[in-house]
Amino acid sequence: MSDDTIQQAADRLFKAWETGRPCDPVRDLIGDAGVDGAYAVQEINTKRWLDQGRRLVGRKIGLTSKAVQTQLGVDQPDYGMLYADMDVAEGDEITLDRVMQPKVEAEVAFIMGDDLDDERLTTADVMGAIDYAVAAIEVVGSRVANWDIRILDTVADNASSGLYVLGHEPKALGEFDPRLCGMVMEKAGEPVSVGVGAACLGSPITATLWLARVMARVGRPLKAGDIVLSGALGPMAPVAPGDVVEARIQGLGSVRARFAAD
């Protein structure tokens, strides 16, 4: 894949983000360059957003479900960038024009207390660097029309990131079990997703270790204060105008996302 083709793919996704009009998939442009090419596309838009003044505040991990990895033909998760303007305060309404084709996932979010800038990190390094955890709802979205995505499209599209809502019950490691914590996500009192920490690559800690190593290797290491959305604990669910989604994670309390009626 030529530099021009990388730029074309980045421009296609960036225009969709700017205009709010979904675009065609970009996998046709990325082609044989594979996942590395898709991350090159993501990095172009990361630099463009940072140059425009967006503030990088963390990362999200996607594709932490083994079933989804198998479906997409990959053997590892993916990652995307989190920016300050993606944060939604709990209780604030989310207008549906803020995220294209929104869906919701319940996750454990970690807030880092120390930098992790060595790709030779261990599980103990990661656990020692985590300041606290909270329940989170990620509002994922796709700039690609009709969610017609494969692995190259979602990686290039900042891992289909949208917005996120953090819960208000911070817990240190040791106050909850990241691997065995159960999750239920409801709309109007009806469950729309259930899961457990172990569904997230075996443990959200394991997923965060993977991320921290990769981030150190590619030159964007996790820093103290960064947020890590460690991956979905259960299937994602669609949302519609007026929906109120509540996720409860054992040991971390609950978090809500409210969507405007129109």
Structural domain contains residue 99 = yes
Look up residue 66 and give its two tokens. Answer: 């083994």
Q: What is the mean pLDDT of residues 70-89?
A: 89
Which has the closest alpha carbon to 36: 149, 120, 155, 212? 155
Structural domain contains residue 101 = yes
Cα–chain-centroid distance for residue 130?
18
Domain containing residue 232: 55-259
Structural domain contains residue 23 = no
If phi over 0 gives left and psi between -120 and 50 gives alpha, with beta otherwise, what is residue 188?
left
Look up residue 222 and give its two tokens. Answer: 């996790």
Confirm whether pTM is higher than 0.85. yes
CATH number at residue 147: 3.90.850.10
Find where tokens 């796709």 sit.
Answer: 142
Which has the closest alpha carbon to 127: 179, 84, 86, 168? 179
- Tens of pLDDT, residues 153-206: 999 999 999 999 999 999 999 999 999 999 999 999 999 999 999 999 999 999
State residue 71's pLDDT score.
63
Structural domain contains residue 255 = yes
Q: Please count the structural domains in the chain.
A: 1
